Amino acid sequence: MNDPLPAPGDGPAISRRAALKLGLVGVLGAAVGAGSTAVIARLGRAARPRYRFFTDAEANLLIDICEQIIPRDDVPGATDTGAINYIDRQLCGRLSRHQETYRRGLESFRQTCLQARGAPFGELAPAAKIEALRSLELGEAPRALWGDPSAPEFFNLVLSHTMQSFYGSPRHGGNRDYASYRMLGLDYPQVVGQNRYKKA
Amino acid sequence: MALRHVNAVVVGAGAGGGVVAKELSEAGLSVVILERGGWVSFEEHGQDELINQRTTVLGDAYGPDDRSPRVAETGPGRFEVVLPHEGGYNNNAACVGSGTVSYGAMAWRYMEKDFRMRSTYGAPEGSTLEDWPISYDDLEPCYEKAEQQVGVSGDMSANPFAAPRRRPYPMPAFPYNTEGRILEAAAKRIGLHPFPIPMLRNSVPYGGRNACVHNRYCCGFACPNNAKNGTHNTMTPRALATGNCELRTHSIAKEVVVDDKGLARGVRYFDATDAEQYQTADLVVVSGGAIETARLLLNSKSRLFPNGAGNRYDWVGRNLQGHAYCGADGLFEERTFDDVGPGATIAVSDFNHGNPGLHGGAALCNEFIRPPYGFSGMRPPGQPSWGKAHKDFQRMFYKRSVSVRGPVQEMPVFDARATIDPAVRDHWGIPVVRLSGSRHPHDVEIGRVIAAKAEAWLKEAGAVATWTNVPGLGLSGGQHQAGTCRMGSDPKTSVANRFGQVHDIDNLFLSDASLHVTNGGFNPVLTIMALGFWVGGHISSRWKDGRLT
Amino acid sequence: MSPRSWSRIVLGLALYCGVFVVTCAVGGMAYFHFANPQNTCASCHEMTGVHSDWAVSAHRTIQCRACHGGALTLDVHALESHVDRIVRHFTGDPNKPVRLLEKHVQGLVDSCQRCHPQAYSDWQSSRHATTYARIFLDPEHNKTASPTDDCLRCHGMFYERDITELVSGTGTGGTWSLRDAARATQPAIPCLACHQVHAPSDATQTASFFDHRERAHFSASLLPVPAVYQGARPVKVSRDPRQRVCMQCHAPDATHQLGSSDDRTPAGVHEGLSCRDCHWSHTNSAKASCNACHPADSHCGIEVQKMDTTFLSPQSRHNVHTVACLDCHPGGIPAKKVASGSPADLP
């Protein structure tokens, strides 16, 4: 910027130059602005994590565990009713203190299955899956793989959270379509008249 | 700016504080109530099974929040910080009305012997069991006031063990639900004396409030119909209506200031903006619930009471007790569920006293409706708690089960106690309470016997499978917390005198279950309210010419 | 450099920044306004459920912004709630449920009317088109009851706070008043009380009940069929899902006895019928409904619409919901006198 000071009365030339500059700045700004829009759009299309807390692999393992706890039969089970959604949501909310327990517990369980059963949990036969969880519940899992949490601690945590998801209100992320209340034949919402008026 | 001096400051707007504040305001004293919570209603959490006073897995619907931690003994010599929704915390609701907003609302009078436990039974080894310095007869007019003014539905005519009363209940008893009818017939067959549970709930419109419509979700929840009577919708509004009372919500008491003459001068507290305030008063009433009352006294150090107000002989915070709940569950072939809430309708008082070899006992009642998540944990021993078997059990028995429960009267233990943690402080920088100790082994023994009685009752009622629930030795407290500042005539073995006045501090009073010497074999709330009338009446009678005489 | 040229540099930079920010903002907002919501709002967890319900709903051809407003919509409420949601997404509690505020629900009544003018005018003629004033300032009712949160289960169900903030006055003195007088003329049972926009086109899905306690819509097919008893006898209750919506408020008391409290479940000659068999949707009128099933004359030869029931006159002792032949013929049902039609036509 070494422009000489504009002389008084030299108005038109200066304003033309200024207008040119102004236009340039405007075009530059607009170009960057438009570019940024494209960046926003790209961000919009970028693959997003499916869960708030879990990785996809953790979530798939946990979904499988929950489904053993409340399996689907003629009525929906843990997977259908969104147990993973409840746990994932609450781990980023009210139950956030259990995040590490899940992270470590799921990893310990993954290794336990490989070590004790020679295959990932997802590839086990249905009966073997139940057996694998039962040994967690009873604390029969390899000790070297479990410390904090212990195997029963981890199992009982998942158990209670799965029950909460299935029987709690859908507002917390599970019990999709109030499936458990319909399973129990429990009127929900409860219908109670107020007995206020004489009826017509 | 200094706050305007008042006649009385009441700490806590629960069952005890609500009544005392109303009594004092009506007697013409200027009163300020400091309540650590706010007004709550049904609206925020509705009928949410995961956030209410009974099930707190996703939080405490009625407070306090995580700004108020405690420290609990989780093993011998092992202490951990616990939050309000965790079991070891022993929470009482923090809101206007406290537990009376969301309680099941059973309205028991204690029995005559409940005030004379030591002279009736003698203290078992390791227990500080003692008689109350007042008798049932002393308290009877106050029970009556609580029943009439707060509102109770009941009928004791079928209960031969009930202590005498001068006036009937102001509202008729609730009818039995299906469980009640099944249990009534069975009880009569085995020689028990069943009767409807008295309830602080309107069976007919009363006091300008509606009659109960029998919602399923009641115990643990605020009432959407204003048919459940707590101090928040009876006593506190009456206190405020006098024009003599000011309620300051979200006000956290820090200490009672005691001067060098041994008189209480007022209360330091943090207001809703966390600013420290000092409210001076002619007299102070502490009604924080057994645990918080003890904490406040212990935190109130002065020259004359360096270990806390009223703690000259190290009795503040001692003898923490609640109820050792025991009982039995039964499964039925017939349908027992009728969805007529809240579900607890029938009781027997046959086992409160007179159990051979036992020091006391418990009333037995059928349980409130078990919501679905709660029921998922109700299983006979050995029954799988998950998998297809879990689902089948839920479907088969959710509507075919009955539970009978009894609050076992506990033997006070000197080392079951609330002290001040040396390190942990709450959001406001106030040292928090540390809970330690355990129940007396005799509680478990009583629990085992009473649970067997409950099981026999269920079997007679036709249960195809039954199992018992016996309490363990873990420290007791919870919503029925009591005993930490017991009343007594000897200042060396008690904290307050028979009128709830702290020994040696002439103008400092207590009015909550901390005064209970023993806690009866019943839910304690009506007794706490009656004590509120007792203490409030005493203060009013001493209040002459604008001062305490 | 001279102060003049400094000031020109600053001016130029400011200009550049200004243009940049404005272009970015306009570009970004335009993108958010027009792009597929799956790439914008609905890509966040809290929105995916709402969006996927909408994507299979009867209203899927209507863009989000038509009802909710977009980034370029000049509506203070819409902008405020969008910004609030974004802020909460990054800072606050992301689990806070996404739902319309009452002012939005009230505003939607006009949007519904644009495409459904007939339904709107029918509803306007019905008693369901009631207002806050008519419900909460009824002196006759208020003499016997005190305001409670449970009132909001069936009226003012979108009200967001405690009843004590809506109505002042306690007890049974009949002295309730609305704290906000402007609310008096607002609908107390707006369209969304019984309908949800984000529901499949099936009538049993769009017909739904907004449960105030859950703050959620229950589509009719998910609502329970409450048991109703006449004494110990279970009454046959229609399986029509739409009736379940009615029963949420026209409900028996906790004993579930027929005709208790606000229950209108049909029994007697009409047992098993759905509310919707006789009452027109939106007007709720039962006018001329008899003809749908009945021949002009009844089994005993009397014109059905002229029989002594509450259909003819509200003062009748015989409630048309529960009337049985024996109510008028205690001595026994007379022989068939009817000329046209046959008993087989009767329900």
Domain residue spans of chain C: 3-95, 103-193, 288-347
C95 pLDDT more than 70 = no
Which residues neighbour B321 within 8 Å (Cβ) at sequence distance 6 or greater? B410, B412, B413, B416, B476, B477, B481, B482, B483, B516, B518, B519
Higher pLDDT, B534 or C196: B534
Specify which residues B401 forms β-bridges with.
B331
The minimal CB distance from C254 to the residues B47, B210, B341 is found for B341
Q: Does B79 touch chain A (CB under 8 A)?
A: no
Residues of B in contact with C145 (CB under 8 A): 205, 210
Residues of C in contact with A39 (CB under 8 A): none
Q: How far is B205 from chain C (nearest CA, A)?
A: 8
Cβ distance of A167 and B214 shorter than 8 Å: no
Which pLDDT belongs to residue A26?
Answer: 60
Q: Over range C127-141, report the average pLDDT.
A: 92
Cβ distance of A71 and B391 shorter than 8 Å: yes
**pLDDT tens track for C256-298:** 999 999 899 999 999 999 999 999 989 999 988 898 888 887 7
Q: Find chains touching chain B: ≥3 CB pairs under 8 Å.
A: A, C
Which pLDDT belongs to residue C17?
Answer: 86
Chain B, residues 42-61, CB within 8 A of chain A, namely 47-50, 57-59
**pLDDT tens track for B293-349:** 999 999 999 999 999 999 999 999 999 999 999 999 999 999 999 999 999 999 999
Q: Does A160 touch chain B (CB under 8 A)?
A: yes
Cβ distance of A180 and B339 shorter than 8 Å: no
Q: Find chains touching chain C: ≥3 CB pairs under 8 Å.
A: A, B
Residues of B in contact with C226 (CB under 8 A): none
Q: Which of A65, A66, A68, A70 to mutate to test the interface with B (most CBs of B within 10 A)?
A: A70
Specify which residues B330 forms β-bridges with.
B402, B466
A14 pLDDT more than 70 = no
Q: Does C9 touch chain A (CB under 8 A)?
A: yes
What CATH number is given to the structural domain containing B221?
3.50.50.60
Tokens standing for residue B211: 């009659």
Which range of residues forms the domain containing residue B11?
A: 6-163+199-323+411-439+480-548
Q: Which of A191, A192, A199 to mutate to test the interface with C (most CBs of C within 10 A)?
A: A191
Which pLDDT belongs to residue C318?
Answer: 92
Which pLDDT belongs to residue A141?
Answer: 87
Question: Of A152-161, B362-371, B504-513, C84-93, which range is least confident?
Answer: C84-93
Higher pLDDT, B85 or A42: B85
Q: What angle do CA C190, C194, C197 make, to 5 degrees?
A: 90
Which pLDDT belongs to residue C79?
Answer: 79
Q: What are the strands, taking DSSP E only, across chain C?
A: 167-168, 177-178, 208-211, 216-219, 229-230, 233-234
Which pLDDT belongs to residue C237?
Answer: 96
Which pLDDT belongs to residue C342?
Answer: 44
Higher pLDDT, A194 or B118: B118
B480 pLDDT more than 70 = yes
The model's confidence at residue C329, banded by pLDDT at 50, 70 and 90, is: confident
A37 pLDDT more than 80 = no
Residues of B in contact with A166 (CB under 8 A): 376
Specify which residues B11 forms β-bridges with.
B34, B286
Average confidence score pLDDT of chain B: 97
C347 pLDDT more than 50 = no
User: What is the Cα–Cα distance from C307 to C297, expressed in whole angstroms?
Assistant: 10
Cβ distance of B386 and A181 shorter than 8 Å: no
Q: Does B224 touch chain A (CB under 8 A)?
A: no
Q: Which of C21, C24, C263 to mutate to test the interface with A (most CBs of A within 10 A)?
A: C24
Q: Does A169 touch chain B (CB under 8 A)?
A: yes
A46 pLDDT more than 60 = no
The model's confidence at residue B2, banded by pLDDT at 50, 70 and 90, is: confident
Cβ distance of A190 and B48 shorter than 8 Å: no
Cβ distance of A168 and B50 shorter than 8 Å: yes
Residues of A in contact with C310 (CB under 8 A): 200
Q: Over range A79-104, report the average pLDDT.
A: 95
Cβ distance of B41 and C149 shorter than 8 Å: yes
A16 pLDDT more than 70 = no
A126 pLDDT more than 70 = yes
Which pLDDT belongs to residue C345?
Answer: 42
Cβ distance of B339 and C254 shorter than 8 Å: yes
Q: Is B293 inside a domain boundary? A: yes
User: What is the Cα–Cα distance from A167 to C290, expressed in whole angstroms?
Assistant: 44
Q: How far is C255 from chain A (nearest CA, A)?
A: 9
Which pLDDT belongs to residue B44?
Answer: 86
Helix (H), strand (E) at residue C117: helix C117-124
B1-10, B311-320, C136-145, C288-297 — most confident range: B311-320
Q: Enumerate the domain spans of chain A.
A: 56-69+80-177
Higher pLDDT, B150 or C104: B150
A196 pLDDT more than 70 = no
Cβ distance of A192 and B214 shorter than 8 Å: yes
The model's confidence at residue B146, banded by pLDDT at 50, 70 and 90, is: very high
Percent of residues, chain C, with pLDDT higher than 90 = 44
R_g of chain B, CA atoms, integer Å: 22
Q: Is B178 inside a domain boundary? A: no
Cβ distance of C145 and A196 shorter than 8 Å: yes
- CB count, 10 Å around CB of A77? 20
Residues of C in contact with B341 (CB under 8 A): 254
Q: Over range C313-336, report the average pLDDT.
A: 88
Chain A, residues 141-170, CB within 8 A of chain C, namely 169-170
User: B129 near B121, Cβ under 8 Å?
Assistant: yes
Which pLDDT belongs to residue A199?
Answer: 45
Which pLDDT belongs to residue B63?
Answer: 93
Which residues neighbour B9 within 8 Å (Cβ) at sequence distance 6 or greater? B31, B32, B33, B34, B266, B267, B279, B281, B283, B284, B285
Q: Does C255 touch chain A (CB under 8 A)?
A: no
The model's confidence at residue C92, banded by pLDDT at 50, 70 and 90, is: low
Which pLDDT belongs to residue C21?
Answer: 85
Which pLDDT belongs to residue B474?
Answer: 94
Average confidence score pLDDT of chain A: 85
Q: Nearest-CA residue of chain B relative to C226?
A: B339
Q: Does C211 touch chain A (CB under 8 A)?
A: yes
Closest by CA to B532, choosing from B135, B208, B245, B150, is B150
Q: How many domains does chain B have?
A: 1
- Strand, helix or coil at A66? helix
Which pLDDT belongs to residue C343?
Answer: 42
Which pLDDT belongs to residue B371?
Answer: 96
Cβ distance of B48 and A160 shorter than 8 Å: no
Closest by CA to B272, choosing from B250, B256, B252, is B250
B36 pLDDT more than 70 = yes
Closest by CA to B9, choosing from B269, B233, B299, B307, is B269
- Strand, helix or coil at B279? strand
C33 pLDDT more than 80 = yes
Q: Does B399 touch chain A (CB under 8 A)?
A: yes
Q: Over range B479-506, report the average pLDDT.
A: 97
Q: Does A25 touch chain C (CB under 8 A)?
A: yes
- What are the residues of chain C with a beta carbon less than 8 Å away from any beta carbon of chain B? 144-146, 148-150, 153, 161-164, 170-173, 213-215, 253-256
Closest by CA to C116, choosing from C127, C108, C104, C126, is C108
Q: Nearest-CA residue of chain C relative to A200?
A: C314
The model's confidence at residue A191, banded by pLDDT at 50, 70 and 90, is: confident
Which pLDDT belongs to residue A7?
Answer: 41
Which residues neighbour B465 within 8 Å (Cβ) at sequence distance 6 or greater? B330, B331, B380
Q: Which of B58, B226, B236 to mutate to test the interface with C (most CBs of C within 10 A)?
A: B226
Which pLDDT belongs to residue A8?
Answer: 41
Q: How far is CA C12 from the centre of its chain?
A: 57
The minimal CB distance from A169 to the residues B48, B59, B213 is found for B48
Tokens standing for residue C20: 């940049």
Q: Nearest-CA residue of chain C relative to A199?
A: C262
Q: Over range B62-84, report the average pLDDT.
A: 94
Label the pairing between strands B70-75 and B431-436.
parallel
Q: Which of A80, A156, A169 to mutate to test the interface with B (most CBs of B within 10 A)?
A: A169
Q: How far is C248 from chain A (nearest CA, A)?
A: 6
Question: Of A2-11, A190-199, B210-219, C98-107, which range is least confident?
Answer: A2-11
The model's confidence at residue C19, banded by pLDDT at 50, 70 and 90, is: confident
The minimal CB distance from A187 to the residues B339, B377, B398 is found for B339
